Amino acid sequence: MSFPHIEPLYSFSGLFVGFLVGLTGVGGGSLMTPILVLLFGIHPATAVGTDLLYASVTKATGTLVHGVKGSVDWLVTLRLAAGSVPAATITLILLHRYGMDSPRGSALIQFVLGAALLITAIALVFRPQLAAFAARNRPAPAHGNTLALTILTGAVLGALVTLTSVGAGAIGVTVLLLLYPALPVSRIVGSDIAHAVPLTLLAGAGHWLLGSIDWSLLLSLLVGSLPGIVAGSLLSAKAPEKVLRHVLAATLTVVGVRLVMA
């Protein structure tokens, strides 16, 4: 493996995506992976694998902040991980067995990525309505149902994130809003971010073993994205949240359709 070097164009892309992530809270995979695949022509498996390790670093930083603030419900995080970790492991085994570099494997990853982006766009548009619905219907489901549905949610996210690097953010938070209506939104977001750390680290490590990590790309993205996230976070209170959310949803819809139809 050659020594990683920094590509300025990738760093600029990381800065742009990091800024939007800090500004809107949308997961970086929803934005970064499509940019790498469609704009730079990077193989879908390499884009996904590199983005997963990139996400594990940024999510770990976010978990530290939320942990210090006390806005992580570790029980919810553990329930999600109980489903996502086995599902991610099984998905990695299947990717190894059937191959990611074949035309069929590449087409599958690209199709699922496009579908995940479309679901993310829907989740972004209707999240306020879903949050309001959950608030109006305060009584939570029976404990056993909530436990089973949370583990099932984790399993779906585990497979989806391992295949596409998308889903742990907007989709996960949207489902948790419905499953845990009594929890404050800040604790739901913090729990979802904390859950994403072991998931993206495991999935990213699996892609590393499968040979689908570009270390120069990873370094270049981190150099740009970390200051971008800080800048976006500092300006987030002044941003027109509703406008940004709908613009992002429209962008993800266009990109998702393009990937599905490719």
Q: Rounded CA gap, 171 and 159, in Å?
A: 13
Residue 82 placed within a domain: yes
Residue 66 placed within a domain: yes
Q: Rounded CA gap, 26 and 169, in Å?
A: 6
> 10 Å Cβ neighbour count for 142?
9
Does residue 139 have a pLDDT over 80? no
Kindly write down the DSSP assignment for every residue of 87-98, as one continuous string. Answer: HHHHHHHHHHHH
pLDDT tens, 185-234? 778 878 888 888 889 899 999 989 888 888 999 999 989 888 887 787 67
Q: Rounded CA gap, 232 and 23, in Å?
A: 4
pLDDT band at 79 (very low <50, low <70, confident <90, very high): very high
Q: How many domains is the chain partitioned into structurally? A: 1
In sequence order, the 6+-apart residues with CB closer than 8 A to the CB of 102 are none
Residue 115 placed within a domain: yes
Residue 1 placed within a domain: no
Q: What is the pLDDT of residue 151?
A: 95
Q: What is the pLDDT of residue 11?
A: 92
- For residues 46 and 168, which has the higher predicted lDDT (pLDDT)? 46
- What's this model's pTM, rounded to 2 decimal places? 0.81
Residue 169 placed within a domain: yes
Highest mean pLDDT among 44-48, 59-63, 158-162: 158-162
pLDDT band at 55 (very low <50, low <70, confident <90, very high): confident
Residue 2 placed within a domain: no
> 10 Å Cβ neighbour count for 99?
14
Q: Rounded CA gap, 56 and 242, in Å?
A: 27
Region of 58 (left: φ > 0; alpha: ψ -120 to 50; beta: rest) is alpha
The CA–CA distances, whole Å, from 137 to 77, 89, 145, 178, 197 equal 23, 36, 16, 9, 31
Residue 3 placed within a domain: no
Lowest mean pLDDT, pick from 45-59, 103-117, 137-151: 137-151
Number of H helices, E strands in the chain: 10, 0
Q: Rounded CA gap, 155 and 142, in Å?
A: 20
Region of 180 (left: φ > 0; alpha: ψ -120 to 50; beta: rest) is beta
Q: Rounded CA gap, 13 and 29, in Å?
A: 13
pLDDT tens, 149-183? 999 999 999 998 898 888 767 788 888 888 888 88
> 10 Å Cβ neighbour count for 141?
15
Q: Which domain holds residue 168?
A: 8-261
Q: What is the pLDDT of residue 63?
A: 74
Instruction: Give yes or no for a contact between 32 and 54, defined as CB atoms under 8 angstroms apart.
Output: yes
Residue 37 placed within a domain: yes
